[in-house]
Amino acid sequence: MLSLGFKFYRAFFLVLTGLLLALHFYTGLAWIWAVLPLFLFGGMIAWGSSNISSQFFMKIYCKGDASKKQIALTFDDGPHAEVTPLILETLKKYGVKATFFVIGKNIPENPRVLDRIHSEGHLIGNHSFSHVNTFAFKSVKVVKNELKHTNLLVAGITGKEPAFFRPPFGVTSPRIAQAANKLGFKTIGWSIRSLDTTSDSAEKITERVLSQIKGGEIILLHDTFLKTREVLENILIYCQNQNVEIVPLDKMLAEKAYVKKN
């Protein structure tokens, strides 16, 4: 089901375009004014697609309760043979649980890493199978197949199917919305994007993250870059010193992380 906001704007711009086209044919209104709403709507779609917190196409969980002094840690793009175990060691050192949004195609090469994520009490979410930059343009059928395939791979190792889904690159579309909603996924965004995939140093990334922590934050990190381990430890030390609680994502959102089997 698409969001009511998207449906409203789509209907509004279609009606407005129809009215302006009628004025063009009957009054000689310039073409530019007749088609302007379509360009505006196109710009709105581009903004809504790339801005996950806009929830333009679908409901997306981007933040917990802002009044609570707590955060949730999430990692994308694993499981990674080298980096994910280092991240797990750091989390274990501080007794913290996180959520790992895994890419399906990475699972067959790293089954033990995925099993370790689960066995050490962390949550596992679905981050698509292919994680290609054209994912938002795929058909509803293809998106559904990717999500189901990844869930089956996760379940084959952990015995559980994720109920949390994070779109690749945080890009959404009507097709992703329809596929995720039909499969019953809860789509997860973030309130703090670390940008640890850039060339920025661990110190700069840490500063960026810590400066945004207020309350109920969902932090996006990646367990595919070595420097992220340093960033993670800096975050954990800060939270320890500032009495910021780090909670599992399902607890923060009060939502089930896995599909309930009948």
State pLDDT tens for residues 96-141: 999 999 999 999 999 999 999 999 999 999 999 999 999 988 999 9
Contact partners, residue 207, CB within 8 Å, separation at least 6: none
* Dihedral angle computed from the Cα positions of residues 213, 219, 220 and 222, in that order, rounded to the nearest 10 degrees: 100
Q: Considering the chain, what is the average pLDDT of its residues?
A: 89
Active site residue 222: yes
How far is CA 230 from its chain centroid?
A: 22
Can you tell me whether residue 50 is helix, strand or coil? Answer: helix
How far is CA 23 from its chain centroid?
A: 43
CA distances for 65 relative to 25, 140, 211, 251, angstroms: 53, 32, 18, 11
* Apex 99 CA angle, 98 and 104, nearest 5: 145
Nearest to 59 by CA among 180, 198, 233: 180
What's the rounded mean pLDDT across residues 232-256? 98
Active site residue 127: no
Amino acid at 34: A
What's the rounded mean pLDDT across residues 173-196? 95
Look at the block and give the residue holding tokens 């099993």. Answer: 115
| Residue of 77, 222, 223, 250 with catalytic role | 222
How far is CA 147 from its chain centroid?
A: 14
For residues 124 and 151, what is the distance between their CA atoms, to the nearest angstrom? Answer: 10
